[in-house]
Amino acid sequence: MRVLKISRDQLKKWLDELSGTVDLYVPMPAGKQVHRFEPYTTFEELDLSYTRTVLPPKKFVFPPEEVLFNRAPSGETTVPDLPARDLVLFGVHPCDINGIRILDTFFSSFDKPDWYYQRRRARLRIVGLSCLPDEHCFCRSMDCDSAASGFDLFFHDIDPENQDRGEKVFFVSLGTVEGDIMLADRADTLPEAEPEELEALLEYTERRESAYTLDLDPSILPQAIKLHQADPLWDRLGEQCLACGVCSLGCPTCTCFNIRDTNDLEGGSSRVRNWDACLYRDFARVAGDHNFRPHRSERIQNRYYHKQVGFAEAFGKPSCVGCGRCIKLCPTGIHFVEVFQSLARERLPVDE
Amino acid sequence: MNNLYLTADWTILEIREIIPGHFFVSLSPSGGGGVPEYSPGQFFQISVHGIGEAPVSVSSSPTRPGTLEMCIRKVGRLTAAIAGLRAGNRVGIRGPFGNGFPLERMRGNDLVLLAGGLGIVPLRSLVNYAVDLPGEFGQVTVLYGAGTDAQLLFIDDLLGLSRDINIQLIVQEITGAGPYEERFGDRTGFVTDLIPGSVTRPTRTFAAMCGPPVFYRYAVSALLAEGLSKRLVYMSLERRMECGIGKCGHCGVGYRYTCVDGPIFNYWDAFNMPELIEMREGEPWIS
């Protein structure tokens, strides 16, 4: 492995400079233990040791609301422009990088690419940042605890508790030539990490490995769901679930949307898409008022089925990266990992 | 890369209420250029800008080029807006979407087409397709049922084809409207009642069906009772297809999207995706 080193001061200087040429978004504190990707202001304000943002970075490629086109009273149709500058997301954790890779696969599927996703994705650059797991993280179980690719640059901060030391150093991996371009001729001048520093990076990785408290065996997930479609657990979850949809809205890989028209006072209209959630009652309702999933228990089972079985069968891997947002956000404490642990336990003989 | 969400302007050539609340619409692209290639069983997205968009199956056949025909039931805001349009008005069109019927496989075989209510709309496309290509298919049988004889769609149209195809109708209640009584007497019942004896070559007969959600499990089991091979049973299934390109998620069932993998599904697709057709709780799967 070959990685470069960049000092804290150099990093600050680079971000200051970069924010002048691109739309730069970074993780910022937004209340007690709450973080958001916000426009870069100063280096001192960004939080390099954050765990997760409330909303995943999908909002930059698939915004909560997006105008598909405007239609003038004359019938002329126009598609809104995007800002001309590239958008750089700095500080994206491996789970979220993997989340964007899943979105890339999904939004280009069936030889029918999503034009709006593609054009936002084309201007997005991703700068990854290492992290330590908290009690909601299960990315390791979903094989998303590291990002093999999907980033332009990746920064390792092996001493995240210490942010202020002047001699602090980050390790940098280049993922793409875009990463090199972003560094604007710096890559050539940055020193390579010494063998003992790589050793320290390895130790950090081991420390991170042992910090996970949640664990599940992903190989059981498809079977656990398929074999237990009539399990009373789903009824219990249906009782507990408020169908608020926050698990989907906060999910880095949930992509469902509604399309609707809005009108302006001049006689024009716009076609708009908004995030939707499969837990909402109307999600599978069709004309004539037939609802294919009228009960919450059916909708919650469908969500688990789609993410762990259906998506995996269609696209080769589950649409879950183990970021823990659904667990953290659920107002009634429905716990993704515990649901599966419970389903898996029920496969064991009763006299365990 | 094409922006598949943009609509093209099409002009309504003809619109008329064929039975109360059901509107026949004939359209062609406003700028000329012709109707894009499509296949029976596919659907288009139709828009009234400012109101919205909805998927509608095609009821015309590509063997009769130049126009596209649909039949729209007035059930909501968009369909009410369409019902208020006149010839010469414009709508937005995207498509075609979906897979369509497996025409190549069907060739040379008998067809049994089962329709419940509005389900005749996509099947009319296949009926006209088969009639327009004499010799390409074997015996074509249409079994069509509705709530009352006043709710039968395209009835003169279909009876006009009775020299080429075997057409059987059934309704649950007779009101005396239209030619039903003179052709079929006072017989009432469900479309599934027409199935026994309708299949003469069970290994050389493709079944295609479309109806309300409750209809499929009965129609499939009645066909299988006639000895029809499961792999020859196809269903056109409705879901809430909003984007048409497998992205919005609303028509997702199991690992399939109705708008790209369907709306025409085989028996074995439905077998693998229990939620695809409506079954009653605790009921065994159809086999």
Asked whether the CA dihedral B10, B11, B12, B13 is positive or negative, the reply is negative
Sheet holding A269-275, edge to edge: A77-78, A65-71, A269-275, A257-263
Query: Which residues 166-225 of A have a C-beta within 8 angstroms of B?
Result: none
Strands B43-48, B22-29: pairing is: unpaired
B243-254: average pLDDT: 94
The average confidence (pLDDT) of chain B is: 94
Cβ neighbours around B50 below 10 Å, total: 17
C-alpha to C-alpha distance for B80 and B83, rounded to whole angstroms = 5
Q: How many CA atoms lie within 13 A of A103 on its CB side?
A: 27
- pLDDT band per the 50, 70, 90 thresholds, residue A352: very low
C-alpha to C-alpha distance for B50 and B27, rounded to whole angstroms = 20
- pLDDT band per the 50, 70, 90 thresholds, residue B160: very high
Q: What is the reported pLDDT for B32? A: 85
Decide if pLDDT at B43 tops 50: yes
Which range, of A242-251, B81-90, B248-257, averages the lowest pLDDT?
B248-257
B158-166: average pLDDT: 94
- pLDDT band per the 50, 70, 90 thresholds, residue B116: very high
Strands B140-148, B166-173: pairing is: parallel
pTM of the model: 0.94
ipTM score here? 0.92
- At position A218, the amino acid (one-letter code) is P
Cross-chain Cβ contact A255/B247 below 8 Å:
yes
Is the CB of A311 inside 8 Å of chain B's CB atoms? yes
Q: What is the reported pLDDT for B184? A: 87
* pLDDT, greater one: B201 or A217: B201
Decide if pLDDT at B33 tops 90: no
Cβ-Cβ contacts under 8 Å, B242 against chain A: 257-259
Q: What is the reported pLDDT for A351? A: 46
Q: What is the pLDDT of residues B174-221, one digit of tens each?
A: 998 878 888 888 999 999 999 999 999 999 999 999 999 889 999 999
Decide if pLDDT at B137 tops 90: yes
Decide if pLDDT at A189 tops 80: yes
| Angstrom distances, CA of residue A271 to CA of A242, B74, B169, B244 | 29, 22, 42, 15
The residues, ordered by sequence, that sit 6+ positions from B165 with a Cβ below 8 Å of its Cβ are B127, B130, B131, B139, B140, B141, B142
Is the CB of A310 inside 8 Å of chain B's CB atoms? yes
The average confidence (pLDDT) of chain A is: 92
Cβ-Cβ contacts under 8 Å, A284 against chain B: 239-240, 250
- pLDDT band per the 50, 70, 90 thresholds, residue A1: low
Q: What is the reported pLDDT for A225? A: 86
Cross-chain Cβ contact A261/B50 below 8 Å:
yes
A214-226: average pLDDT: 85
- Chosen for mutation from A66, A82, A257 (greatest number of chain B CBs closer than 10 Å) is A257
* pLDDT, greater one: A185 or A307: A307
Q: What is the pLDDT of residues A42-93, one digit of tens each?
A: 999 999 999 999 999 999 999 999 999 999 999 999 999 999 999 999 999 9
Would residue B57 be called left, alpha or beta, if left means φ above 0 and alpha means ψ between -120 and 50 degrees?
beta
Report the residue of chain B nearest A112, measured CA to CA.
B245
- Phi then psi for residue A80, to 5 deg, are -60, 145
Is the CB of A228 inside 8 Å of chain B's CB atoms? no
Instruction: Give the DSSP H/E element, type plus range, for residue B78.
Output: helix B77-83
Which range, of B104-108, B175-179, B234-238, averages the lowest pLDDT?
B175-179
Residue B182 DSSP symbol: H
A239-267: average pLDDT: 96
Which range, of A16-25, A69-78, A150-159, B273-282, averages the lowest pLDDT?
B273-282
Cβ-Cβ contacts under 8 Å, B75 against chain A: 287-288
List the single residue in A107, A258, A290 with the smallest CB-CB distance to B213: A290
Decide if pLDDT at A257 tops 70: yes
C-alpha to C-alpha distance for B41 and B129, rounded to whole angstroms = 11
A196-206: average pLDDT: 93
Cross-chain Cβ contact B254/A75 below 8 Å:
no
C-alpha to C-alpha distance for A269 and A272, rounded to whole angstroms = 10
Q: What is the reported pLDDT for A346? A: 64
Min distance A306 CA to chain B CA atoms (Å)? 6
Q: What is the reported pLDDT for A349? A: 46
| Angstrom distances, CA of residue A269 to CA of A260, B5, B53, B85 | 10, 15, 13, 18
Q: What is the reported pLDDT for B282? A: 67
